[in-house]
A and B are shown apart, each in its own frame.
With several copies, the nearest count.
Chain A
Amino acid sequence: MCIGVPGQIISIIRFEGIVETKGIQRKVNLALVPEAKVGDYVMVHAGTAIQIINNEEAQATLKLLEELVGDEE
Chain B
Amino acid sequence: MSDKILLGHGSGGTMTRKLIENLIVKTLGNPTLNKLTDAATLNLPSGRLAMTTDSFVVTPPVFPGGDIGKLAVYGTINDLVMVGTKPFYLSLAFILEEGIELELFRRIVDSIAEAAENVGVEIVTGDTKVVEKGKGDQIYINTTGIGIIPDGIEMSPERIQVGDKVILSGTMGDHGITILACRKGLEMKTDLKSDCAPLHRLVNAMLDVEPKIRVMRDPTRGGVASVLNEIAEQAGVEIKVEESRVPILPQVQGMCDLLGLDPFHVANEGKLIAVVPAESAEEVLSAMRALPEGKDAAIIGEVVAKTEYPEVFVETEIGTTRILEMLAGDQLPRIC
Contacts and interface: CB of A to CB of B under 8 A. Distances in A.
- Are A and B in contact, CB atoms below 8 Å, in the complex? yes
Interface stretch (A22-30, A34-42, A52-60, A62-70): A22-30
Interface string B147-189: 0000000000000000000000000000000000100000111
Contact of A22 (B181, B250, B336): B250
A1 B336 contact: yes
Contact of B335 (A3, A21, A25): A3
- Residue among B192, B250, B257 with max Cβ neighbours from chain A (10 Å): B257
Nearest to A6: B257
A21 B254 CA distance: 6
B291 interface: no
20 contacts: A1-B336, A2-B336, A3-B258, A3-B334, A21-B258, A22-B251, A22-B253, A23-B192, A23-B249, A23-B250, A24-B189, A24-B190, A24-B251, A24-B258, A25-B189, A25-B190, A26-B188, A26-B189, A26-B258, A45-B335
Interface size class of B (residues with CB under 8 A): 10 to 19
Contact of B251 (A1, A23, A27): A23
Contacts, number: 46
A25 B188 contact: yes
A22 B257 contact: yes
Q: Which 4 A-B pairs have the closest CB atoms?
A: A22-B254, A23-B251, A22-B250, A25-B189
A33 interface: no
A3 B190 contact: no
B251 A5 contact: no
Interface string B122-142: 000000000000000000000
Given A22-B250, A45-B335, A3 B260 contact: yes
Contacts of A31: none
Nearest to A46: B335
Interface string B295-335: 00000000000000000000000000000000000000011
B187 A27 contact: yes
Contacts of A26: 187-189, 258
A25 B251 CA distance: 10
A26 B183 CA distance: 13
Contacts of B189: 24-26
A29 to B, nearest CB: 12
Contact of A5 (B191, B258, B334, B336): B258
- Residue among A1, A5, A22, A27 with max Cβ neighbours from chain B (10 Å): A22
B190 A21 contact: no
A45 B187 CA distance: 15
Nearest to A22: B254
Contacts of B181: 24
A21 B249 CA distance: 12
B336 A24 contact: no
B187 A2 contact: no
A71 B255 CA distance: 39
Contacts of A5: 254, 257-258
Interface in B246-265: 249-251, 253-255, 257-258, 260
A2 B190 contact: no
Contacts of A2: 335-336
